Structure 1
Amino acid sequence: MSESTPLIGEPLALDLVNTAPDGPDLLDTPEQLAQWLALQADRLHGIAHEPPTEADVIAVRAVRADTAATLAALLAGQRPPAAALRGLEKAQAGAPLIRELDWNGDAVVATGRRHGPLGATAAAALAESAIDLLTDPSIGKLKRCEADDCVLLFLPTHPRRRWCSAQRCGNRVRVARYYQRHKPESSAD
């Protein structure tokens, strides 16, 4: 797993925020957005299925910025910026989830769909995910990775979890500690 590969598996809103690490932006181009949306396809139901445009990237990145600003404030024990909260509300309202009814031959079934261009539907779904995360009681457990060079966020499933990923940062930290304990003494000539 490389530093340019987005981590997935956290709540969707955290996966989105984690696409903007200190290094290169992982949602910088329509192609990168398409790849990330494909990775998240099982969690992004009811959004448009079309190739992303530059405008779609801008819409998704706006939701990411509002979510990141809100999470940063919560991590600092501060009130989230009102503009970020309003931005999430506006994005969600841009393509609300509509439950469309149909008959499957045996019963009435409802399928949730958002209508509009990809940017609006993806932004709405991601904003909804952010709102769900921000209002979930578990948000109080939010952590930033403890690796010195990592800024990724996660919700720990275990109270002793310290890193965004055991494979990415945990191994690197453990190897560095091992090296420090076992490095040869430098000889003074």
Structure 2
Amino acid sequence: MYASEPPTGEPLPLDLVNTRPLSGGSRTDLLGTPDRLAAWVARQGDRLGEETSRMDEDAEAAGPALAEADLAPVHAVRDHTEAALRALMAGRRPPEAALRGLADAQRAAPAVRAPVWDGTAVVAPPRRTGPLGVRLAALLAESAAALLADPAVARVRECAADDCVLLFLPAHPRRRWCSPTRCGNRVRVARHYRRRKES
């Protein structure tokens, strides 16, 4: 269903989890290479804030911004986020390992607001240190923790299409699909053909 670009537009933790859609009956990793992860980071743009511009600066200074070693910490945060969300969706307590994993990812590259003079004023943007993947994972884990603690997490749903596992946070309580144009249309078309065949 998704050849190469993961869907975006949901809260950041859901967009991260949605980078493993079903394709041909099995889950596909749309962040399986450094290039794919870099493309996803670019698509998320300003949602990743200061860390994205730091990654761009690092790329200009030292070549490719993301390497193979940067994938594991991001994948771990994605797995922990999905485990916690799916447990909550099922009315269960999130696994302790998932919650601890998200906390550990944040501890690996904490955001520090070190005040500096920019020539006209004191500014204190959050800065993280360490490898790019660790910094990105910390930022994503922070976002996941914020969503998990938000009462809105109770509204997170899985797409109602049989062959889709994507998660979304509906703005309207009647929303059933990750995308009305993607899964919604496919389900409606299939339903239409099924009715025609039965009549």
Cα RMSD between the aligned structures?
Answer: 1.8
**What residue is the counterpart of 1:153 in the other structure?**
167
Task: Provide the rounded CA distance (Å) in 2 between the counterparts of 1:115 and 1:127.
Answer: 15
1:30 aligns with 2:34: yes
CA offsets 1:76-113 (integer angstroms, 9 cap, x no match): 11111111111000001111111232344553332122
- Specify the code of the residue in structure 1 equivalent to 2:196: H
- Specify the code of the residue in structure 2 equivalent to 1:159: P
SS in 1 for 2:50: coil
**What residue is the counterpart of 2:17 in the other structure?**
17
SS in 2 for 1:10: coil
1:132 Cα deviation (Å)? 0.4
Task: Provide the rounded CA distance (Å) in 1 between the counterparts of 2:124 and 2:107.
Answer: 20
TM-score of the superposition, structure 1-length normalised? 0.90
After superposition, where does 1:4-83 map in structure 2 within 5 Å?
A: 4-23=4-23, 24-47=28-51, 48-49=54-55, 50=59, 51-83=65-97
Q: Alignment length, in residue pairs?
A: 185
1:151 Cα deviation (Å)? 0.4
**What residue is the counterpart of 1:122 in the other structure?**
136
- Specify the code of the residue in structure 1 equivalent to 2:13: A
**Does the 8 A contact of 2:2 with 2:21 survive in 1?**
no
Compare the two structures and name the one with the higher helix fraction.
2
**Does the 8 A contact of 2:109 with 2:128 survive in 1?**
yes
Worse-superposed segment, 23-32 or 10-19: 23-32
- Specify the code of the residue in structure 1 equivalent to 2:39: Q
TM-score of the superposition, structure 2-length normalised? 0.86
**What residue is the counterpart of 1:168 in the other structure?**
182
1:114 Cα deviation (Å)? 1.4
The percentage of counterpart residues that share the same residue type is: 59
Task: Provide the rounded CA distance (Å) in 2 between the counterparts of 1:40 and 1:114.
Answer: 18
**What residue is the counterpart of 1:84 in the other structure?**
98
Task: Provide the rounded CA distance (Å) in 2 between the counterparts of 1:22 and 1:156.
Answer: 20
- The verdict on how the C-alpha distance between 1:156 and 1:3 changes in structure 2, with shifts beyond 3 A counting, is farther
Task: Provide the rounded CA distance (Å) in 2 between the counterparts of 1:115 and 1:105.
Answer: 24
1:139 Cα deviation (Å)? 0.5
Task: Provide the rounded CA distance (Å) in 2 between the counterparts of 1:4 and 1:35.
Answer: 10
Q: Which runs of 5+ in 1 are unaligned?
A: none
Question: Which structure's CA Rg is the greater one?
Answer: 1
Higher relative contact order (CA 8 A, sep 6+): 1
**Does the 8 A contact of 1:6 with 1:18 survive in 2?**
yes
Task: Provide the rounded CA distance (Å) in 1 between the counterparts of 2:3 and 2:184.
Answer: 14
1:100 aligns with 2:104: no
**Does the 8 A contact of 1:163 with 1:169 survive in 2?**
yes
Task: Provide the rounded CA distance (Å) in 2 between the counterparts of 1:121 and 1:97.
Answer: 9
Worse-superposed segment, 139-148 or 38-47: 38-47
